[in-house]
Copies of this chain bind each other. A is one copy, B any other.
Amino acid sequence: MNVLIVLAHPEPRSFNAALAARACDVLRQAGHQVEVSDLHALKFKAVLDADDFSGEREDAEFLRVDREQTHAHSSGGLAADIVAEQEKLSRADLVILQYPMWWFGMPAILKGWADRVFTRGFAYVPGRKYDTGMFRGKRAMVSVTTGTSADTYAPDGIDGDILDILWPVHNGLLRYSGFEVLQPFVSYMPRRLTPEEREAELDRFAQHVLADVPRLFFHPQEDYGPEERLRPGVIARSGFQHNTDR
């Protein structure tokens, strides 16, 4: 199996970096090929702009992102750093996104990786999304660290259900582009851990990465009608569509 780990933390000795390194080690020990995109080490360009298009623009006067992405993807005009990440994605059977929860979302450098690398033409085209998404057959997993407790991210917690907070990433980025989305790994307040507890948490991640992790539920395409809304009679999974536990 080919695995791509995308790491987004500015401190090389952070717990996020340690989690990525541990996953890399155990996956290689298990015989898998692992690539790591350490976005800060790569000084990855976070901002999608006209510089993403190295070739001749379809319209050099007006930047319409989806049109230029489609044109550049088909004409070999995407910036080299985008193409390099797309090649890693194409090789990967499993993608792991490793990041700290910053303002209830991905750090900008990782959001920019999604904005710039998941181009139209490569990550989606008309008629290819969700069940029929471009990355169909690949699996993806989010691994996040938090600054607050598991209680605050409980379904009745003040910060909101962790799965609700991750919903735009799980359904929006990953499922939309065709991935089977695995249950995330969440490390709550790792800063509070003693050295021994820290080791145990890294081991817990190693086990999660190697385990047959359940997939999150998403309604299959046939549950949706012509307007892409759930058909009459289809019961939305209670609470939240993606949630298997309520």
Contact residues of A with B, CB < 8 Å? 10-11, 13-14, 40, 46-50, 62-66, 102-109, 111-112, 114-116, 118, 130, 147, 149, 151-152, 154-160, 164-165, 167-169, 171-173, 176, 191, 219, 224, 227-230, 236, 239-241
Let me know if B50 and A10 touch, CB within 8 A.
yes
Give Cα A165–Cα B176 distance, bound, in whole angstroms: 13
By a CB distance below 8 angstroms, the chain B residues around A46 are 46-47, 108-109, 112
Given contacts A103-B173, A105-B106, A151-B227, 7 further A-B contacts (CB under 8 A): A102-B115, A103-B176, A108-B115, A156-B230, A157-B228, A159-B171, A160-B172
Q: Are A160 and B171 in contact (CB under 8 A)?
A: yes
Q: Is the CB of B236 within 8 A of A156?
A: yes
Residue numbers in B under 8 Å from A116 (CB-CB): 108
Interface pair A63/B11, CB less than 8 Å apart = yes
Residues of B with C-beta under 8 A to A11: 62-65
Cα of A114 to Cα of B115 in the assembled complex, Å? 17
A-B contact pairs, 20 of them (CB 8 A): A46-B46, A46-B47, A46-B109, A46-B112, A47-B109, A47-B112, A103-B114, A104-B172, A105-B105, A105-B111, A108-B115, A111-B111, A151-B229, A155-B236, A157-B229, A158-B228, A160-B167, A160-B168, A164-B167, A239-B239
Contact A165 B165 (CB under 8 A): no
Task: Say how far A19's CB is from chain B's closest CB, in angstroms.
Answer: 16
Taking a contact as CB atoms under 8 Å apart, the answer to whether A108 and B112 are in contact is yes
Contact assessment for B107 and A115 in the assembled complex, using a CB-CB cutoff below 8 Å? yes
A5 to chain B, nearest CB (A): 19
In the assembled complex, which residues on chain B have CB atoms less than 8 Å from the CB atom of A10?
47-50, 63, 65
* CB-CB nearest 9 A-B residue pairs: A104-B172, A108-B112, A104-B168, A156-B230, A11-B63, A46-B46, A158-B228, A108-B111, A151-B227
Cβ-defined contact, A173 with B104, below 8 A: yes
**Other-chain residue from B13, B109, B165 in contact with A62 (beta carbon distance below 8 A):** B13
